[in-house]
Amino acid sequence: MSQKIDTVVFPVAGMGTRFLPATKAVPKEMLPVVDKPLIQWAVEEAAAAGCTRFVFVTSPEKGAIMSHFGDAPHYQEMLEARGKTRELALLKAGLPKNAEIFETYQDAPLGLGHAIWCAREATGDKPFAVILPDDMVQHQTGCLAQMAAHYETVGGNLVAVENVPSEETYRYGVLNPGAETDDLVEVKGLVEKPAPEDAPSTLAIIGRYILDAKIMDTLSAFKKGAGGEIQITDAMAELIGHVPMHGFRFAGTRYDCGNRDGFLEANLAFALAQGGDELKQRLRQLLD
């Protein structure tokens, strides 16, 4: 019987070199999409899925992330004195009232699998979610909430997947898919960052995972894979046959905010969802 997911891990220790010089002093996860930093969008998605325990795997140089989710007495006192109730609510930064926050450091850039392993004390012996803030999914129901609803049935390891262009498989963990039932795809095998000619399919994992607690034992072996890093894809592949594994075809549009064009596209898409016809007209004028 699968368990409710209340813990989510955010691997946010990376240096964000693709966004230099903007990320020289500001963590990439603090760059705004419309009016919220990337990391807040991710936290709000997790909270909407029922998560109450938020684990940030970060680095000492990225203190701004934890500051964003901490208390801000100087703002609070000023806003209370001025009666600005709406702005006061914004100080909560998307966290639910019963939120527990944990911070742990990834001491070396050894890959996503290593970053997740660094959260082992906070995740304990229960299944947990992982959100990569670089991947934003626009939909009325958050991607993680969609996954959590299915996880109650399938358990094991569950990953969000979508088809990518064949020439881009080298950027992803790619499924060797089995039988499909509705939105779920059986996973017979996984390959991390395969060349197009070696990819078993074009069905790729994006930045949403719900993982069985056994994954931490597998990661503890510190086996290095593609790029000389400890890959979460390899650890999940090793557990196939021991715990169930499925890919989930989520509803919504994904924007890859790990590169400039995807980040700008996400800003436009989310702004248009909020801005209405006036913003559309102004954008048309710019395009003309």
Rounded to whole angstroms, the Cα distance separating 15 from 2 reads 35
Provide the token pair at 253: 């549009």
pLDDT greater than 80 at residue 88: yes
The pLDDT value recorded for residue 15 is 87
Q: Name the more confident of 173 and 94.
A: 173
Cβ atoms 175, 185 nearer than 8 A: yes
Q: Which domains does the chain have, with CATH numbers?
A: 7-278 (3.90.550.10)
The pLDDT value recorded for residue 1 is 47
Output the average pLDDT for the chain: 93
Q: Which residues of 35-49 are buried (b: 16+ CB within 10 A; e: fewer)?
A: ebbbbbbbbbbbbbb
Reduced to 3 states (helix: H, G, I; strand: E, B; else coil), residue 126 is coil
The pLDDT value recorded for residue 16 is 87
Query: Count of alpha carbons within 13 Å of 7, Cβ hemisphere only?
Result: 21
Reduced to 3 states (helix: H, G, I; strand: E, B; else coil), residue 259 is coil
User: What is the pTM for the complete model shown?
Assistant: 0.93
The pLDDT value recorded for residue 220 is 93
pLDDT > 70 in the chain, percent: 99
The pLDDT value recorded for residue 275 is 76
Query: Count of alpha carbons within 13 Å of 206, Cβ hemisphere only?
Result: 25
Provide the token pair at 23: 């990320």
The predicted model gives 239-246 an average pLDDT of 94
Q: Which stretches does DSSP call E strand in 133-228? A: 135-138, 157-163, 173-181, 184-192, 203-211
The predicted model gives 36-58 an average pLDDT of 96
Phi, psi of 282 (to 5 degrees): -65, -35
The pLDDT value recorded for residue 2 is 54
The pLDDT value recorded for residue 224 is 87
pLDDT band at 189 (very low <50, low <70, confident <90, very high): very high
Rounded to whole angstroms, the Cα distance separating 158 from 167 reads 25
pLDDT band at 104 (very low <50, low <70, confident <90, very high): very high
The predicted model gives 35-64 an average pLDDT of 95
